Amino acid sequence: MHQELRQTDMAKAPENFAEIVKEVRQQLGLSQEELAHELGVSFSTINRWENRKTVPFKLARKQFEAFCERMKEQGKLKHAPD
């Protein structure tokens, strides 16, 4: 059942989510550990996202999107990902 949830969630996540996470992190000059701290997740979570091992559930994606918007508003991020 857990796998079914993950597959359903993967269908909703953007195909390029791994690239988006990595691009945002690099634009901000953050390590995976620093980004994890900012989002309130573990380092291994960020690592798995970037390496396409897992995709975030809806709540984590919303947190990531909100974080990107805050960074964009503060002028720290050139553009928020789609």
Residue whose entry in the numeric block shows the structure tokens 């993950």:
6
The model's pLDDT over 32-41, given as tens digits with 9 standing for 90+, comes to 999 999 999 9
Give the domain ranges of the chain: 17-23+30-74
Whole-model pTM? 0.78
The model's pLDDT over 7-51, given as tens digits with 9 standing for 90+, comes to 444 445 678 999 999 999 999 999 999 999 999 999 999 999 999
Contact 55, 49 (CB under 8 A): yes
